[in-house]
Amino acid sequence: MSLLAGIGYFFLGSCIGHGLPRFPFLLMSRTNGFNTNFPRHPEAIPLSPHLTQRVLHMRMFYWMGMAAVFLPLSLGLVSVRWGNAAFGFGLWIAGGWYLLNRLQSLIGGQTPPWTKQMALELQILSNLAEQPGGCCNWTSPYWQVTGIVCVNCNSKLSNMPRPDLGRKRSERKPLGFLRLIISDGYPMLSVPDEEE
């Protein structure tokens, strides 16, 4: 195997090893049928039980990757032993990196993009909106890119930036996909992709 072919196989392996464990969050819930309760992608989302549930679903998809990552890891092992070593090594590196990355959030690193805490805060804010004594008489909280805002009186209710919520992206296919791969679901604050 020439060096160039080796690098090519390694690259292919690491791409697959990078993508496979992210499949649950990349693909599930992106179809239109899954998103009938939400406005289309870049628009702000009103707080509702559907939204709280979606955050919990995204959190589940995120952790499902921990099970999916054993596929590239075992495939890599088999490949290094009996097949194309460069390809297997690529799978291993990417899969192992993913595993380390997820495990570090358990011991106090960066928290996942979707947490139970986040769902709880959404629920609390949405409960508050239904009680009198809020920011205004017709509190209607919406989750915008940079935080939760009452669209009626424009007061900011929370500074929690909005992560990806599994809606079909408004960008063209490869671009939206690329952006998801790069951001890994975390909020992209630098991109003003929303009108108020």
CB of 133 to Zn ion, least distance (A): 11
> In the set 135, 148, 149, 180, which binds Zn ion (CB under 5 A)?
135
The one-character DSSP state at 41 is T
Q: Does 150 bind Zn ion (CB under 5 A)?
A: yes
| Closest of 1, 16, 10 to residue 86, by C-alpha | 10
Q: Does 94 bind Zn ion (CB under 5 A)?
A: no
Residue 13 contacts residue 76 (beta carbons within 8 Å): yes
Strand partners, 46: 142
Residue 162 contacts residue 143 (beta carbons within 8 Å): yes
Q: Does 52 bind Zn ion (CB under 5 A)?
A: no
| Closest of 61, 82, 77 to residue 17, by C-alpha | 77
Q: Does 153 bind Zn ion (CB under 5 A)?
A: yes
CB of 44 to Zn ion, least distance (A): 14
CB nearer Zn ion, residue 26 or residue 157: 157
Q: Where are the alpha helices (DSSP H) in 20-112?
A: 23-27, 49-68, 70-82, 85-104
Q: Which stretch in 30-38, 52-60, 143-151, 187-195 sits in contact with Zn ion by CB under 5 A?
A: 143-151
Site map for Zn ion, 108-127, x if CB under 5 A? --------------------
Interface contacts to Zn ion, rule CB under 5 A: 135-136, 139, 150, 152-153
